[in-house]
Amino acid sequence: MEKIFGKPLITQEEILHRVRELGLQITQDYMGKNLILIGILKGAFAFTADLSRSIGIPAGIDFLMTTTRESPGGESTKIISDPTLNLTGTDVLLVEDIVDSGVTARMLLEKLAAHRPKSVRFCALLDKTGGRTVDIRPDYAGFSIPNKFVIGYGLDYKNKYRTLPFIAVLDDRTKA
Ligand code: IMP
Ligand code: MG
Protein backbone atom coordinates (compact mmCIF):
# COMPACT_ATOMS: atom_id res chain seq x y z
CA MET A 1 0.00 0.00 0.00
CA GLU A 2 1.22 3.48 -0.80
CA LYS A 3 2.38 5.66 2.08
CA ILE A 4 -0.39 7.99 3.25
CA PHE A 5 0.91 10.85 5.33
CA GLY A 6 -0.84 11.94 8.47
CA LYS A 7 -2.95 9.63 10.63
CA PRO A 8 -6.42 8.45 9.66
CA LEU A 9 -9.23 10.88 10.45
CA ILE A 10 -11.55 7.88 10.84
CA THR A 11 -10.11 4.39 11.31
CA GLN A 12 -11.38 1.23 9.66
CA GLU A 13 -12.72 0.01 13.03
CA GLU A 14 -14.60 3.27 13.62
CA ILE A 15 -16.12 3.15 10.14
CA LEU A 16 -17.30 -0.45 10.45
CA HIS A 17 -18.73 0.17 13.92
CA ARG A 18 -20.69 3.19 12.75
CA VAL A 19 -21.86 1.43 9.57
CA ARG A 20 -23.27 -1.39 11.74
CA GLU A 21 -25.14 1.18 13.84
CA LEU A 22 -26.59 2.80 10.73
CA GLY A 23 -27.60 -0.63 9.40
CA LEU A 24 -29.43 -1.39 12.64
CA GLN A 25 -31.28 1.92 12.55
CA ILE A 26 -32.28 1.43 8.91
CA THR A 27 -33.41 -2.14 9.65
CA GLN A 28 -35.75 -0.83 12.36
CA ASP A 29 -37.03 2.08 10.28
CA TYR A 30 -37.74 0.00 7.15
CA MET A 31 -39.23 -3.11 8.76
CA GLY A 32 -42.12 -4.30 6.54
CA LYS A 33 -41.26 -1.83 3.77
CA ASN A 34 -40.06 -2.36 0.23
CA LEU A 35 -36.54 -0.96 0.65
CA ILE A 36 -34.29 -0.31 -2.35
CA LEU A 37 -30.77 0.99 -1.76
CA ILE A 38 -29.35 3.21 -4.49
CA GLY A 39 -25.57 3.47 -4.20
CA ILE A 40 -23.79 6.30 -5.99
CA LEU A 41 -20.73 5.25 -7.98
CA LYS A 42 -17.98 5.40 -7.72
CA GLY A 43 -17.53 7.09 -4.33
CA ALA A 44 -20.10 5.08 -2.36
CA PHE A 45 -19.11 1.60 -3.60
CA ALA A 46 -17.43 0.56 -0.34
CA PHE A 47 -20.02 2.15 1.94
CA THR A 48 -22.94 0.65 -0.02
CA ALA A 49 -21.39 -2.83 0.14
CA ASP A 50 -20.79 -2.68 3.91
CA LEU A 51 -24.07 -0.92 4.76
CA SER A 52 -26.15 -3.36 2.71
CA ARG A 53 -24.66 -6.27 4.64
CA SER A 54 -25.51 -4.56 7.95
CA ILE A 55 -29.20 -4.33 7.06
CA GLY A 56 -31.23 -7.25 8.39
CA ILE A 57 -34.28 -7.05 6.12
CA PRO A 58 -34.55 -7.96 2.42
CA ALA A 59 -33.54 -4.97 0.28
CA GLY A 60 -33.11 -4.39 -3.41
CA ILE A 61 -29.91 -2.80 -4.62
CA ASP A 62 -29.17 -0.58 -7.57
CA PHE A 63 -26.59 2.03 -8.55
CA LEU A 64 -26.36 5.38 -10.27
CA MET A 65 -23.09 6.52 -11.74
CA THR A 66 -21.91 10.11 -11.52
CA THR A 67 -18.87 11.88 -12.94
CA THR A 68 -17.35 15.14 -11.83
CA ARG A 69 -15.60 17.41 -14.25
CA GLU A 70 -13.42 20.44 -13.62
CA SER A 71 -14.70 23.42 -15.59
CA PRO A 72 -13.82 27.12 -15.66
CA GLY A 73 -16.82 27.87 -13.42
CA GLY A 74 -15.75 25.23 -10.85
CA GLU A 75 -16.69 21.56 -10.62
CA SER A 76 -19.83 20.10 -12.14
CA THR A 77 -21.27 16.68 -11.41
CA LYS A 78 -23.38 14.76 -13.93
CA ILE A 79 -25.53 11.65 -13.51
CA ILE A 80 -24.58 9.30 -16.35
CA SER A 81 -26.83 6.27 -15.76
CA ASP A 82 -30.38 5.29 -14.78
CA PRO A 83 -31.76 2.88 -12.20
CA THR A 84 -32.37 -0.61 -13.61
CA LEU A 85 -35.05 -1.53 -11.03
CA ASN A 86 -38.59 -0.20 -11.14
CA LEU A 87 -38.68 2.25 -8.23
CA THR A 88 -42.38 3.15 -8.46
CA GLY A 89 -44.07 2.63 -5.10
CA THR A 90 -40.87 1.49 -3.37
CA ASP A 91 -39.02 3.00 -0.39
CA VAL A 92 -35.80 4.32 -1.85
CA LEU A 93 -32.70 5.08 0.20
CA LEU A 94 -29.97 7.05 -1.58
CA VAL A 95 -26.53 6.00 -0.33
CA GLU A 96 -23.77 8.60 -0.77
CA ASP A 97 -20.16 8.76 0.36
CA ILE A 98 -20.15 12.43 1.33
CA VAL A 99 -22.33 15.51 1.27
CA ASP A 100 -20.55 18.83 0.98
CA SER A 101 -22.42 21.69 -0.76
CA GLY A 102 -25.47 19.43 -1.13
CA VAL A 103 -25.81 20.19 -4.86
CA THR A 104 -25.11 16.58 -5.94
CA ALA A 105 -27.50 15.08 -3.39
CA ARG A 106 -30.29 17.45 -4.40
CA MET A 107 -29.82 16.54 -8.06
CA LEU A 108 -29.85 12.80 -7.26
CA LEU A 109 -32.94 13.09 -5.04
CA GLU A 110 -34.80 14.98 -7.78
CA LYS A 111 -33.87 12.31 -10.31
CA LEU A 112 -35.06 9.51 -8.00
CA ALA A 113 -38.30 11.34 -7.13
CA ALA A 114 -39.17 11.38 -10.86
CA HIS A 115 -39.52 7.57 -10.66
CA ARG A 116 -42.44 8.02 -8.21
CA PRO A 117 -41.21 5.96 -5.28
CA LYS A 118 -43.40 5.83 -2.16
CA SER A 119 -40.60 7.50 -0.20
CA VAL A 120 -37.06 8.74 -0.80
CA ARG A 121 -34.53 9.29 1.95
CA PHE A 122 -30.84 9.98 1.98
CA CYS A 123 -27.93 8.36 3.84
CA ALA A 124 -24.38 9.79 3.71
CA LEU A 125 -21.35 8.31 5.42
CA LEU A 126 -19.70 11.72 5.80
CA ASP A 127 -21.33 15.09 6.31
CA LYS A 128 -19.29 18.27 5.76
CA THR A 129 -21.88 20.46 7.44
CA GLY A 130 -19.71 23.56 6.98
CA GLY A 131 -19.74 23.28 3.17
CA ARG A 132 -23.49 23.47 2.61
CA THR A 133 -24.88 25.92 0.02
CA VAL A 134 -28.18 24.06 -0.45
CA ASP A 135 -30.69 23.44 2.34
CA ILE A 136 -30.44 19.67 2.53
CA ARG A 137 -29.66 17.32 5.39
CA PRO A 138 -29.05 13.56 5.24
CA ASP A 139 -31.71 11.47 7.02
CA TYR A 140 -28.86 9.20 8.15
CA ALA A 141 -25.26 10.42 8.54
CA GLY A 142 -22.23 8.44 9.67
CA PHE A 143 -19.84 11.18 10.75
CA SER A 144 -19.73 14.99 10.73
CA ILE A 145 -16.32 16.05 9.47
CA PRO A 146 -14.48 19.38 9.17
CA ASN A 147 -14.33 21.24 5.87
CA LYS A 148 -11.22 19.41 4.61
CA PHE A 149 -10.66 17.23 1.55
CA VAL A 150 -10.69 13.55 2.55
CA ILE A 151 -9.70 10.34 0.79
CA GLY A 152 -10.20 6.61 1.32
CA TYR A 153 -13.08 4.12 1.76
CA GLY A 154 -14.35 4.97 -1.73
CA LEU A 155 -13.36 8.64 -1.82
CA ASP A 156 -10.70 9.63 -4.32
CA TYR A 157 -8.23 12.32 -5.19
CA LYS A 158 -7.64 12.19 -8.96
CA ASN A 159 -8.87 8.59 -9.01
CA LYS A 160 -6.44 7.42 -6.36
CA TYR A 161 -6.91 6.24 -2.78
CA ARG A 162 -10.46 4.83 -3.17
CA THR A 163 -9.23 1.42 -1.99
CA LEU A 164 -7.87 2.57 1.38
CA PRO A 165 -9.83 0.92 4.22
CA PHE A 166 -9.81 4.14 6.35
CA ILE A 167 -10.51 7.85 5.81
CA ALA A 168 -7.68 10.39 5.91
CA VAL A 169 -7.33 14.12 5.24
CA LEU A 170 -5.54 14.74 1.95
CA ASP A 171 -2.05 15.91 2.79
CA ASP A 172 0.12 17.98 0.39
CA ARG A 173 2.66 15.17 0.48
CA THR A 174 -0.03 12.58 -0.35
CA LYS A 175 -1.01 14.70 -3.36
CA ALA A 176 2.44 14.54 -4.87
P1 IMP B 1 -21.45 18.34 -3.15
O2 IMP B 1 -22.25 18.31 -4.43
O3 IMP B 1 -20.69 19.63 -3.00
O4 IMP B 1 -22.25 18.00 -1.94
O5 IMP B 1 -20.30 17.30 -3.29
C6 IMP B 1 -20.51 15.99 -3.26
C7 IMP B 1 -19.50 15.27 -4.14
O8 IMP B 1 -18.22 15.92 -4.18
C9 IMP B 1 -19.27 13.94 -3.54
O10 IMP B 1 -20.14 12.98 -4.11
C11 IMP B 1 -17.82 13.67 -3.81
O12 IMP B 1 -17.70 13.03 -5.06
C13 IMP B 1 -17.18 15.02 -3.93
N14 IMP B 1 -16.47 15.40 -2.70
C15 IMP B 1 -16.81 16.38 -1.82
N16 IMP B 1 -15.93 16.47 -0.82
C17 IMP B 1 -15.00 15.51 -1.04
C18 IMP B 1 -13.83 15.09 -0.32
O19 IMP B 1 -13.45 15.62 0.74
N20 IMP B 1 -13.14 14.05 -0.86
C21 IMP B 1 -13.51 13.44 -2.01
N22 IMP B 1 -14.59 13.80 -2.72
C23 IMP B 1 -15.35 14.83 -2.23
MG1 MG C 1 -19.29 11.09 -5.08
DSSP 141-173: EEEE--SS-EEBTTB-BTTBSTT-SSBEEPPHH
Q: Say yes or no: CB of residue 108 within 6 Å of ligand 1.
A: no
Please identify which of the residues 50, 91, 97, 100 carries the catalytic annotation: 100
Model pTM above 0.85 = yes
Q: Say yes or no: CB of residue 103 within 6 Å of ligand 1.
A: yes
**For residue 107, which atom of ligand 1 is closest to its CA?**
2
Q: Do 93 and 117 contact (CB within 8 A), yes or no?
A: no
| C-alpha span between 14 and 78 (Å, rounded) | 31
Smallest CA separation from ligand 1 atom 11, residue? 98
pLDDT tens for 48-93 read: 999 999 999 999 999 999 998 887 777 888 999 999 999 999 999 9
pLDDT tens for 115-164 read: 999 999 999 999 999 999 999 999 999 999 999 999 999 999 999 999 99
Pick the CATH number of 12-147 from 2.30.22.10, 3.20.20.10, 2.60.40.10, 3.40.50.2020: 3.40.50.2020
